[in-house]
């Protein structure tokens, strides 16, 4: 191998390794993060992929795959990336932790350590200049998507997530965060082709399964998750007078399996439950309670008894 091809293969490996961009205090302190055009390419690819539904059409099995993958991956994001890895609101085994880290990775929202470290940063400085994705301090577009197009925000600050960074399997998933989505991509294509050959009555094939199961499902999943950073800091009602602009948004709560109760969450970020009033439906919480019943998780942190009566008092002003 000559030096030029060695250099090319080294840079290809570096590109595939998320830890290639190391945490560097000089980069971190180099002013406001800004959007970089080439980092929009994966999002453009994801959205353009949705257009495949036009030539590929639709079938019941493709639509069901889209829905099931949406719900399963949303649960992994809300229940584990958020309520477990970011806030440690309950305990679980190393096997369950890894299993849901893998399913979370299937969401194409990067690795669990990256996700949780950034989310912890959000809570530490919500809606201030130091918030990584505030629609109040910056703009709606920035909080929704543009913040992920900055190299500064690509770095995993392992010092913020040292409690989980000690697990080598999680570190590996985090470094090679494209691996699980790629497996999902090829599995969906293979599944569609298998149905096409052996069960032609399903009227599907590999490309149709990719269009619905990967592109459409992942795109909606992304926007629903991102809306918590953007919409849930702008639109909805505030039960608690928290130092940020977080809101409870019932429509978002439906699409995100309970994450829309974002003002409740900013007030009680160390509690598993986010829907506090009886009518604030929180599917993720109900499923986690079920998991607890089967011994899959434990020590679910409860909301204080006086959570509703203490609403909007000075007691609720402290930063979580
Ligand atoms: Zn928030
Ligand atoms: Zn949170």
Ligand nearest to the CA of 233: 1
Closest CA to 155 of 33, 41, 31, 9: 33
List, for the chain, all residue ranges whose pLDDT scores fall below the cut of 50. 313-320
Question: What pLDDT sits at residue 10?
Answer: 58
Contact 320, 270 (CB under 8 A): yes
Ligand nearest to the CA of 246: 1
Closest CA to 93 of 312, 291, 304: 291
The residue extents of the domains of the chain are 57-317
Q: Let me know how long the chain is.
A: 320
**pTM for the model:** 0.91
- Please give the distance, rounded to the nearest whole angstrom, from the Cα atom of residue 30 to the centre of ligand 2: 26
Contact 260, 251 (CB under 8 A): yes
- Please give the distance, rounded to the nearest whole angstrom, from the Cα atom of residue 122 to the centre of ligand 1: 7
> Please, how many CA atoms are within 13 Å of residue 98, restricted to the half-sphere of its CB?
11
Positive or negative, the CA dihedral 133, 138, 143, 146 is negative
Question: What pLDDT sits at residue 24?
Answer: 65
- Please give the distance, rounded to the nearest whole angstrom, from the Cα atom of residue 64 to the centre of ligand 2: 30
Question: What pLDDT sits at residue 70?
Answer: 98
Q: Which token pair is 214?
A: 């990967």
Question: What pLDDT sits at residue 305?
Answer: 86
- Please give the distance, rounded to the nearest whole angstrom, from the Cα atom of residue 233 to the centre of ligand 1: 6
Question: What pLDDT sits at residue 14?
Answer: 62
Question: What pLDDT sits at residue 34?
Answer: 86
């Amino acid at each position: 191998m000559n030096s030029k091809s060695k250099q090319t293969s080294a840079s290809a490996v570096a590109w595939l390794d998320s830890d290639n961009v190391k945490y560097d205090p000089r980069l971190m302190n180099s002013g406001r993060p800004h959007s970089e055009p080439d980092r929009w390419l994966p999002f453009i690819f994801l959205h353009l992929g949705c257009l495949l539904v036009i030539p590929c059409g639709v079938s019941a099995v493709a639509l069901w795959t889209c829905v099931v993958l949406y719900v399963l991956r949303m649960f992994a994001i809300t229940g584990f990336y958020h309520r477990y890895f970011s806030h440690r609101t309950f305990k679980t085994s190393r096997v369950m932790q890894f299993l849901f880290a893998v399913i979370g990775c299937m969401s194409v929202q990067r690795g669990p350590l990256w996700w949780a470290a950034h989310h912890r940063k959000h809570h530490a400085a919500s809606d201030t200049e130091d918030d990584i994705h505030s629609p109040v301090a910056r703009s709606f577009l920035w909080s929704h998507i543009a913040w992920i197009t900055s190299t500064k925000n690509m770095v995993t600050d392992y010092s913020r997530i040292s409690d989980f960074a000690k697990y080598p399997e999680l570190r590996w998933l985090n470094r090679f965060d494209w691996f699980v989505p790629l497996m999902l991509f090829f599995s969906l294509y293979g599944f569609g082709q298998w149905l096409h050959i052996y069960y032609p009555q399903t009227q599907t094939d590999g490309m149709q399964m990719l269009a619905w199961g990967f592109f459409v499902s992942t795109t909606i999943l992304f926007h629903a998750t991102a809306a918590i950073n953007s919409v849930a800091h702008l639109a909805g009602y505030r039960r608690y007078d928290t130092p940020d602009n977080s809101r409870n948004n019932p429509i978002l709560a439906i699409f995100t399996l309970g994450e829309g109760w974002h003002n409740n969450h900013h007030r009680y970020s160390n509690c598993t439950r986010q829907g506090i009033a009886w009518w604030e439906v929180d599917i993720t919480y109900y499923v986690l309670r079920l998991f607890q019943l089967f011994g899959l998780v434990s020590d679910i942190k409860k909301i204080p008894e006086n959570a509703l009566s203490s609403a909007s008092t000075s007691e609720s002003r402290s930063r979580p």
